Chains A and B, each alone.
Chain A
Amino acid sequence: MISEHLVDLSRLQFAATALYHFLFVPLTLGMVWLLVIMEAVYVMTGNVIWKDMTRFWGKLFGINFALGVTTGITLEFQFGTNWAYYSHYVGDIFGAPLAIEGLMAFFLESTFIGLFFFGWDRLTRRQHLLVTLLMALGTNLSALWILIANGWMQNPVGAEFNYHTMRMEMSNFWVIIFNPDAQAKFVHTVSAGYVTGAMFMLSISSWYLLRGRDLEFAKRSFRVAAAFGFASVCSVIVLGDESGYTVGEAQQTKMAAIEAMWETEPAPAGLKLVAGINEKEMKNDWEVELPWVMGLIGTRSASKEIPGINEIMAKNRERIYSGIKAVKMLEELRKGSTDPVVYTTFEIHKQDLGFGLLLKKYVVDVDQATPEIVERAVKDTVPKVFPMFWGFRVMVALGFAMLAVFTCALYFSIRGCFAERPWLLKWALWMLPAPWLACEFGWFVAEYGRQPWTIYGVLPTHLSVSTLSVNSLYGSLAGFVGFYTVLLIVEMYLMVKFARQGPGSLGTGRYEYEPVHA
């Protein structure tokens, strides 16, 4: 059996690289639409300040893109090294969207990004705007395919297990594409990217306004960011609610852990704002609750119950015992049994095969699992509640804090007096890290909450890991973390350097702090 240390190290490596990678992604997703908006205004009005805005913010977008591009490749490395069994088991399904994403990224995104930067003097205004629009579509379509792959890990629909090939095989491509989890995740994630882009522009514009420099440029940028950010943060909240609803349908354990709901409560359940979680005794020592709210938003009904952790664990216990039969029948079939009873029994219990495989963490022969071992496996089916509960609340709190700042920014933009509100400008400046933090906490909740599965209900994490040496994993982990840390430092250095230069760095002669060229 694979050692738990090896599993934890592989998970840590994937989590660290994915979290670093996602520091770059949301800014690209969001900034690109802001560029489309500013350039569209330029094409419509012919006012050159909008072109300058597109070019200047495009520069900062370019820094982030150049530093962020290919940072996802280390994740793909790991599918072939640390997660080879996972790749074999589900590669037929998981590989297709990843391959399409690669093609999208190279042929759409990269081509049009090249044209965006080098096409200003070679294309007409309208042609260049079309390029910017296609760049935005390419960037967002790349995200769509990644999130289809991830959505399938959360809710594996449109696929069947084949015991001959020991793989999950695609039974319906369109079901995978239109998987409700994937679609909800996609719109929620890209909206979070839009918020990130808007907050980035709002914060830097606020800094210019606080310094009293490039006022016309900064004011227009601030207004665009405020309007786009307000619309985006509203989308994130509404679509996040939809994402939560799909989680409640497909991943009840995750939902129960997020809500620290140990027992099934009468419908409609209350929403816990804060709670003192006692993981050991599986209860909350205290809690502050808003009555009915969770039931209404989690089930869209006043009469439907949300199952608590204990009820889910009882169901999972049944599924583990059913899964033991599936594993035994699979073993018989793999030995070459042609007994129709074996085949029929396997088909009956096949949907619980993954639950039977959870026992492989503790015993080689699942038939030998004692009731104590089954209980350990049952407990494994629930992720730790404390980090889920608080991780989710930090994300939501950051989301509402951003809603507040964008609402104020938009309100004072409409009234035309935001530049005379230094408290608002300082607030907007200090909120700069908020969207990144919210994104990272969101991904943590989504992925940690899927444990103990790599493919929810199908493939346990401990069976997905390859048998690598611990030393090689420590080496590659250090290498990846060092690599990403250096990239992040370079990104921050370049961002600060060119943001401080401001639109003067365009060399148009229309702004302050123009660089002197020899």
Chain B
Amino acid sequence: MKNGDRPLVRHLTIAVIVKLLALTLLWWFFIRDAGVHPDTVDVAVHVSGVASQPGVALPSSQLQGVRP
């Protein structure tokens, strides 16, 4: 690394650190608890509306209203 590169490296190091911190904060506030993990039954209910395979309990998310 040459002398002339040092100011840029300093700028970029700060920018990348701040960026990673900002991304971590975004993840912490908006993503961490917002993950949705549908299983096969959830998707079946979501897509095909009412059906599930026998012996598998319907999830509570099946309760869907008709859009006005």
Residues of A at under 8 Å CB distance from B? 1, 3-4, 59, 62-63, 66-67, 69-70, 73-74, 77, 80-81, 84-85, 88-89, 117-118, 120-121, 164-167, 327, 330-336, 357, 360-366, 463, 466-468, 472, 475-476, 479-480, 483, 486-487, 490, 494, 498, 505-508, 515, 517
Q: Which B-chain residue is minimally distant from A60 (CB atoms)?
A: B8
Complex: A81 Cα to B20 Cα, angstroms? 20
Q: Taking chain B's interface residues, is the majority helix, strand, or loop, or is none over half, making it mixed?
A: helix
Beyond A62-B12, A66-B15, A365-B49, whether A475 also contacts B29 by CB under 8 A is yes
On whether the beta carbons of B46 and A85 are closer than 8 Å, the reply is yes
Q: Which of B36, B46, B50, B51 contacts A463 (CB 8 A)?
A: B46
Evaluate whether A479 and B4 lie within 8 angstroms (CB atoms) in the complex, with A85-B38, A165-B40 already known: no
Q: Which of B20, B42, B47, B52 contacts A335 (CB 8 A)?
A: B52
Between A and B, 16 residue pairs with Cβ closer than 8 Å are A1-B64, A1-B67, A66-B16, A77-B31, A81-B36, A85-B36, A85-B38, A85-B46, A165-B40, A167-B43, A327-B48, A463-B47, A480-B26, A483-B22, A498-B8, A507-B4
A66 and B2 contact, Cβ closer than 8 Å, known pairs A363-B66, A483-B26: no
Task: Find out whether the CB atom of B31 lies under 8 angstroms from the CB atom of A364.
Answer: no
Contact present for A364 and B51 (CB under 8 Å): no
Name which residue of chain B comes closest to A490, CB basis: B15
Report the Cα distance A468→B38, complex, angstroms: 13
Structural contact, B43 and A334, CB atoms closer than 8 A: no
The docked-state distance in angstroms from the alpha carbon of A476 to that of B32 is 12
Interface 1/0s, chain B 10-34, versus A by CB < 8 A? Answer: 0110011001101100110111001
Shortest Cβ distance from B45 into chain A, in angstroms?
9
| Chain A residue with Cβ nearest B1 | A118
CB distance from B8 to the nearest CB of A (A): 6
Q: Which residues of A contact B50 (CB under 8 A)?
A: 331, 364-365
Q: How far is B40's CA from A476's CA once the two chains are assembled, in angstroms? A: 27
How far does the alpha carbon of A85 sit from the alpha carbon of B39 in the complex, in Å? 9
Measured in the bound complex, the distance between the Cα atoms of B66 and A362 in whole Å is 8
- Across the interface, which residues of B come within 8 angstroms of A117, CB to CB? 1, 5
Q: B46 to chain A: which residues have CB within 8 Å?
A: 85, 463
CB of B38 within 8 A of CB of A88, answer yes
Q: Judging by beta carbons under 8 Å apart, are B51 and A330 in contact?
A: yes
A495–B61 CA distance with the chains assembled, in angstroms:
50
Chain A residues with CB under 8 A of B29: 475, 479
Q: Are the CB atoms of A330 and B31 closer together than 8 Å?
A: no
Given contacts A1-B66, A506-B2, A334 and B31 within 8 Å (CB-CB): no
B19 touching A67, Cβ below 8 Å: yes
**B53 touching A59 by the CB < 8 A rule?**
no
Q: Across the interface, which residues of A come within 8 angstroms of B36, CB to CB?
A: 80-81, 84-85, 466-468
| Complex: A357 Cα to B49 Cα, angstroms | 10
Contact A70 B67 (CB under 8 A): no
Task: Give the shortest distance, in Å, between B20 (CB) and chain A (any CB).
Answer: 7
Contact B52 A81 (CB under 8 A): no
A446 to B21, CA, bound (A): 33
User: Which residue of the partner chain A has the closest CB to B26?
Assistant: A479
- Docked-complex contact B8 and A507, CB < 8 angstroms: no
Query: With A89-B43, A364-B64 given, is the CB distance from A472 to B4 under 8 Å?
Result: no
Q: How far is the CB of A1 from chain B (nearest CB, A)?
A: 5
Q: Please give, as numbers and ranges, the residues of chain B lying within 8 Å of A336 by CB-CB distance.
A: 53-54
A74 in contact with B26 given A66-B12, A165-B40, A364-B66 (CB within 8 Å): yes
Query: A173 → chain B, closest Cβ, in Å?
Result: 23
Contacts of B42 in A (CB 8 A): 85, 88
CA A156 – CA B40 in complex, angstroms?
Answer: 21
Distance from A69 Cβ to chain B, minimum over Cβ atoms (Å): 8
Shortest 6 CB-CB contacts between residues of A and residues of B: A507-B4, A334-B51, A84-B36, A476-B30, A336-B54, A331-B51
A88 to B47, CA, bound (A): 11
Chain A residue with the shortest CB-CB distance to B4: A507
B59 to chain A, nearest CB (A): 12
Inter-subunit contact A494/B11 (CB<8 Å): yes
CB closest chain-A residue, reference B51: A334
Evaluate contact between A331 and B16: CB separation under 8 angstroms.
Answer: no
The distance in angstroms between the C-alpha atoms of A354 and B67, with both chains bound, is 20
Known: A62-B12, A70-B20, A483-B23. 16 other contacts (CB 8 A): A67-B19, A70-B19, A84-B38, A88-B39, A117-B1, A334-B52, A364-B50, A365-B50, A463-B46, A467-B36, A483-B22, A498-B8, A505-B4, A505-B8, A508-B4, A515-B7
A518 to B5, CA, bound (A): 14
